[in-house]
Amino acid sequence: MTLHSALPLIALFLNAALVGVSILRNPASRLNRVFAYFATALALWNFGVFMLRRAPDEASAYLWEVVIHVGVIAIPVFYYHFVLIFLDSTTRRRPALALAYGLAIIFSAINASGSALFMTGVKSTHWGWAPATGPLYTPFFLYFNAFMIYGLCHLAKAYRTIDSSFRRNRVMLVLLATFISLIGGFVDFARFILTRFLPAADQAYPLGIPGNMILVFMIGLSIVRYRMFDVDVALKKAAIYCGVAAVVTSLLVGLTWTLEQQFRLEETSALWIVIPLGLIMTLFLSPFGHGLESQVERLIFSKRRGCYDTLLNLSNRMSAILDSGKLVDTLVRGLARGIPLTHCVVMLYDRAANLFVPYREESTTGEESGIAPIRADSSIAQWLAQADGVLVKEEVKINRQMAVYFEAVEGELEQIPASLLVPLKIENKLTGILLLGEKLSGEVFDDQELEVLSVVANQAAISLENARLYEQLGSSNARLLQASQLKSQFLASMSHELRTPLNSIIGFSKVLLNRIDGDLTDRQDSYVRSVHSSSMHLLELINSVLDISRIEAGKQELDLQEIDLHDLMDECIESSAPLARGKPLKIEKDAPLELPRLRGDRTKVKQVLLNLLSNAVKFTATGRVMVRVRPEPDAVHVSVADTGIGIREADLPRLFEPFQRLDSPLARDAGGTGLGLAISKKFVELHRGRIWAESRENHGSTFHFVLPLTPAS
Ligand code: ADP
C-alpha cells in the first residue's frame, strides 16, 4: 500500500474520531450533531476515495465515485449549518441555509440517479480513477465552493467582532482549517473540470484528501484547546500514556535487540526474552509509575498547575481573614493577578434593593468591566442559585439544557462581561456572584480548574459570612457597651437623687432617737430605731450602687497618695472589731515591720480591705481572722484569711459579680448587699491589681489582693 492510497484511510480514522468525540460528548447539542454530520460526510468521502484507489475496474470505480459524491455534496451544507450555529446566527441566515439544503438535495438526487448530466463515467488519470464530468458538474462545483466560502466569510466577519479571546482563537482555527481544506477541494474539482480543456492539469496532485486531513486536525485542535466539546482532560491523559508507552516499548525493543545480538539468540523464540524483560521492567517501573505520571503531567501542563496553585494558595490566605472588605480584596486581586485574568468582580446581594451589586473589581487591563447590577429574580441569578458549580458562558450554547433555559432571555447573559459566573452560596442561598474574565493566556479553564474554583468560591462565601457575622457581633457589642454605660449613668444619677431624702430620714430619725424634741414611748422608740437602721442599710446599698455604677460609667478616678499599710490595717481591724463582739473570734495582723511605700487611692484601698475583713468576721462564728501583708517585687500582697463557713467551689467563679450573695444560713442572716466584692474587684483593678479568693466549704476562706507599688497611669 502506498502513501497515496493510505492517506484517505488515515483521514477516515481521524473523521471517525471526530464523529465519536462530538456525539459522545453531548448528543443533545445541535452544534455537536451538525458537526458530527459534517464529519460523517467527510468520512464518507475519504472512505470512497480509499476504495476508489483500489478499484479493479471501471464499473466499481464509477460506483465509488457516486459514493464519494454522496459525501462531498453534503459537506458544504453541513459545514455552512455548523458555522451558523457556531456563530449563533441560524435565524438570520435561514433563507441561505434553506437554499443550501435545497441544492444539496437536488445534487444528491442527480448523483444517486447515475445521470450522465452529473458524471458521464470515470476515466483513468495519472493519480488513479477520476470522474468524467457532465454539464451539471460545474454548477455543483460552484455550489460547493460558494457555501464553503460563504461560511468562511461569516467566520471572518465574526472574528473581528468577537471580544472573547478564546472564542476568537477558536474561530481562527476553524477559519484556517476551512481555508486550507477548501484549497484542497478546489484543486481536486478543478482538476476534473480542467482536464477537459487542459490535459496537463491531470498531473496536479489531488489535494482534497490532505486538505481534508488538515481540516480535521485543526478542528480537533480547536476542540481540544478551546473546549468546543471539552475533551481536554481525556486527551491529555491519553497523550501522557501514549508517551510513556512509547518510551517503555522502545526501551524493550532496544534491549531485546541488544540481547539478541550479544548472545546470538536468533534461534530461540523472542518470547523467552520479551516476557522476562517485560516482567523486570514492570517491577522496576511500578513504584515509580505514579511519580512518573505526575512528573510528566507537571512537565507538559505546568501552566495548568500554576492555576491550581494560585487557587489553593488563595484559599489558604482567605481562611485567615476576618474583615469582609479585605477578604473580597484578597479574592479578586488573587484571582485576577494570580491566574492571571483580564478582570474579576465580586457582586454581593443587597437585600433592600433585591439586587446583586458589584462590590469589588480588579482589572489587569486597566479597563473597567462596566458591569451593571443583576436582579435577584433574573434568570441568571436563579440559575446560579440552583446550579451546583460554575456557569461557563461559552457552554450555554453547547449544553442543551442551558441553551433552552437561557433562550428566553438571550442577551441578558451576553451582556455580562465575564466568561465564568461562580455562585457564592451559604446554606443553598445565593449571597453573591463571582465573575471571572478571561485568562490572559487566552486558554480556557479545564474541568479540574473549574472544580477547584467552585471549592474556593464556597470557601469564600463561608469566610465572607463569617466576616459579616463577626462585624455584626462587633457592632452589637459596641451597642451593648453603650447601653450598659447608659444604665450605669442612670443608676448614678438615681442614687444621687435618692440619697438626699434618705439623708433627712436618717438625720431626723437620729434626732428623734436622741430625744432632743421630747421623750418617746417604748413602741415609738422601737419604730424609729427600725426606720433608722433600715435607712442606714438603704444608704449603704445606694452608696454601693453609686460606686459600682460610677466605675462602670468610667467615672471613677484614682486619687493617688502614699499609703502607710500598717496604719491602714490597724484602722480597718479597729473598725471591724465591733462586728466580732460577742463571738469567740480573734482578729490578727501579720506584716513585716518594714513595708514598701505603696502609692494608691487610700479611701478605695481601705474600702477593699474593710470589706474583706467585715465579710470574714461576718461569715466566721469562731476561730480567728488573719490579715497578712507580704511585700513582692514591685507590689504588695494582702490577704484576709478566716476559719468561717467557707465557700463552695462552684460558687467561687461568680463571687466577684455584682449582687451575688451565696446561699448559706449564716450568709442569709448576715445581711449585706452582694456588691462589696464586686466593688472591691473594680477598685483593685483600677489600681491595675488583682483580687481572688481561695476557699473550701466549712474550712474557711482566704481573700487575696495584690497591688502594684505604683499603679501605671
Ligand atoms: P455582701 O455585702 O453580701 O457581703 P459581698 O460582695 O461582700 O456582699 O459578698 C458576696 C457574698 O460572698 C456574700 O453574701 C457571701 O455569701 C460570700 N462571702 C464573701 N466573703 C465571704 C467569706 N469570708 N466567707 C464566706 N462567704 C463569703
* Residue 105 scores a pLDDT above 90: yes
What is residue 371's DSSP assignment?
A: P
Locate 93 and state its grid cell. Answer: 441566515
Q: How far is the CA of 695 from the centre of ligand 1 (A)?
A: 12
Closest CA to 124 of 132, 134, 133: 132
Locate 182 and state its grid cell. Answer: 477548501
In this structure, what is the dihedral angle of CA atoms 304, 306, 307, 310, given to the nearest 10 degrees? Answer: 160
* Residue 445 scores a pLDDT above 70: yes
pLDDT tens for 107-126 read 999 999 988 888 888 877 77
**pLDDT tier at 200, thresholds 50, 70, 90:** confident
Q: What's the Cα-to-Cα distance from 380 to each of 144, 396, 412, 437, 459, rounded to whole Å?
A: 41, 11, 8, 17, 22
* Residue 170 scores a pLDDT above 60: yes
pLDDT of residue 83: 87
pLDDT of residue 230: 41
Q: How far is the CA of 614 from the centre of ligand 1 (A)?
A: 9
Mean predicted lDDT score pLDDT of the chain: 81
pLDDT tens for 51-61 read 888 888 888 89
Instruction: Report the distance separating Cα 303 and Cα 445, nearest Å.
Output: 11
pLDDT tens for 388-400 read 788 888 777 666 6
Q: How far is CA 553 from the centre of its chain?
A: 44
* Residue 701 scores a pLDDT above 80: yes
541 lines ligand 1 (CB under 6 A): no
Q: How far is the CA of 648 from the centre of ligand 1 (A)?
A: 12
Q: What's the Cα-to-Cα distance from 669 to each of 121, 401, 662, 665, rounded to whole Å?
A: 128, 81, 12, 6
pLDDT tens for 533-569 read 888 888 887 888 778 777 777 777 888 999 999 999 9
Query: Whose Cα sits closest to atom 25 in ligand 1?
Result: 646
Q: Which atom of ligand 1 is nearest to the CA of 645?
A: 25
**pLDDT tier at 18, thresholds 50, 70, 90:** confident
Q: How far is the CA of 645 from the centre of ligand 1 (A)?
A: 11
- Judge whether 442 and 169 are in contact, CB under 8 Å: yes
655 lines ligand 1 (CB under 6 A): yes
Q: Which amino acid is at 442?
A: G
pLDDT of residue 307: 75
Instruction: Report the distance separating Cα 206 and Cα 202, nearest Å.
Output: 9
* Residue 668 scores a pLDDT above 90: no
Q: How far is the CA of 155 from the centre of ligand 1 (A)?
A: 91
Long-range contacts formed by 696-699: CB under 8 A, 24+ apart = 696/646, 696/649, 697/645, 697/646, 697/647, 697/648, 697/649, 698/645, 698/646, 699/643, 699/646
552 lines ligand 1 (CB under 6 A): no
613 lines ligand 1 (CB under 6 A): no
- Which of 72-76, 155-159, 175-179 shows the lowest mean pLDDT across its residues? 175-179
Percent helix, strand and coil across the chain, each to the nearest 5: 60, 15, 25
Probe target for ligand 1 pocket from 538, 612, 652, 661, with the most ligand atoms within 8 Å of CB: 661
Probe target for ligand 1 pocket from 542, 608, 615, 696, with the most ligand atoms within 8 Å of CB: 615
Q: What mean pLDDT do residues 333-362 have?
A: 90
pLDDT of residue 288: 57
Q: How far is the CA of 503 from the centre of ligand 1 (A)?
A: 27
Q: Which atom of ligand 1 is nearest to the CA of 678?
A: 6
Is the pLDDT higher at 687 or at 229? Answer: 687
Is the pLDDT higher at 322 or at 263? Answer: 322
pLDDT tens for 266-318 read 555 555 555 666 666 555 555 555 565 556 555 555 555 667 778 888 888 88
* Residue 704 scores a pLDDT above 80: yes
Query: Whose Cα sits closest to atom 4 in ligand 1?
Result: 672
pLDDT of residue 482: 85
Q: How far is the CA of 83 from the centre of ligand 1 (A)?
A: 90
137-161 and 58-86 are packed helices; what angle lies between their axes, rounded to 10 degrees?
30
Query: Whose Cα sits closest to atom 13 in ligand 1?
Result: 661
What is residue 439's DSSP assignment?
A: B
* Residue 518 scores a pLDDT above 70: yes
Is the pLDDT higher at 506 or at 659? Answer: 506
% the chain with pLDDT above 70: 80
% the chain with pLDDT above 90: 24
pLDDT of residue 500: 80
660 lines ligand 1 (CB under 6 A): yes
Q: Which atom of ligand 1 is nearest to the CA of 677?
A: 6
Probe target for ligand 1 pocket from 677, 679, 680, 683, with the most ligand atoms within 8 Å of CB: 677
- Judge whether 356 and 348 are in contact, CB under 8 Å: yes
Q: How far is the CA of 568 from the centre of ligand 1 (A)?
A: 22
Instruction: Report the distance separating Cα 68 and Cα 71, nearest Å.
Output: 5
Closest CA to 341 of 420, 394, 229: 420
3-state secondary structure at position 659? coil
pLDDT of residue 665: 59
Query: Whose Cα sits closest to atom 11 in ligand 1?
Result: 661
462 lines ligand 1 (CB under 6 A): no
Closest CA to 130 of 41, 42, 9, 49: 49
Closest CA to 377 of 354, 351, 409, 353: 354
pLDDT of residue 189: 72
pLDDT of residue 644: 92
701 lines ligand 1 (CB under 6 A): yes
pLDDT tens for 115-164 read 888 888 887 777 778 888 888 888 998 999 899 889 888 888 887 776 65
Q: What mean pLDDT do residues 330-347 have?
A: 89
Using alpha carbons only, give the angle 77, 82, 85 rounded to the nearest 5 degrees: 125
Query: Whose Cα sits closest to atom 23 in ligand 1?
Result: 616
Instruction: Report the distance separating Cα 316 and Cα 323, nearest Å.
Output: 15
pLDDT of residue 297: 53
Q: How far is the CA of 708 from the centre of ligand 1 (A)?
A: 25
543 lines ligand 1 (CB under 6 A): no
Instruction: Report the distance separating Cα 227 and Cα 393, nearest Å.
Output: 12
Q: How far is the CA of 600 from the centre of ligand 1 (A)?
A: 25
pLDDT tens for 521-543 read 999 898 998 888 888 888 887 88
Q: How far is the CA of 672 from the centre of ligand 1 (A)?
A: 8
Residue 577 CB partners (closer than 8 Å, separation 6+): 587
Tell the residue number behind the cell numbers 510513556, with chain if given: 244
* Residue 669 scores a pLDDT above 50: yes
**3-state SS of 582-610?**
CCCEEEEEECCCCCCCEEEEHHHHHHHHH
Q: What mean pLDDT do residues 88-97 have?
A: 88
Q: How far is the CA of 682 from the centre of ligand 1 (A)?
A: 16
Query: Whose Cα sits closest to atom 18 in ligand 1?
Result: 615
Q: What mean pLDDT do residues 208-222 have?
A: 69
* Residue 320 scores a pLDDT above 60: yes
Q: How far is the CA of 110 from the centre of ligand 1 (A)?
A: 113
pLDDT of residue 248: 64
pLDDT of residue 233: 45
- Which of 464-468, 490-494, 635-639 shows the lowest mean pLDDT across its residues? 490-494
* Residue 329 scores a pLDDT above 70: yes
pLDDT of residue 602: 92
Q: How far is the CA of 655 from the centre of ligand 1 (A)?
A: 8
645 lines ligand 1 (CB under 6 A): yes
Locate 521 and state its grid cell. Answer: 414611748
662 lines ligand 1 (CB under 6 A): yes
690 lines ligand 1 (CB under 6 A): no
User: Strand pairing of 623-632 and 560-563?
Assistant: unpaired
Is the pLDDT higher at 81 or at 15? Answer: 81
Q: How far is the CA of 595 from the centre of ligand 1 (A)?
A: 29
pLDDT tens for 219-260 read 666 655 555 444 444 445 555 555 655 676 677 667 767 766
What is residue 592's DSSP assignment?
A: -
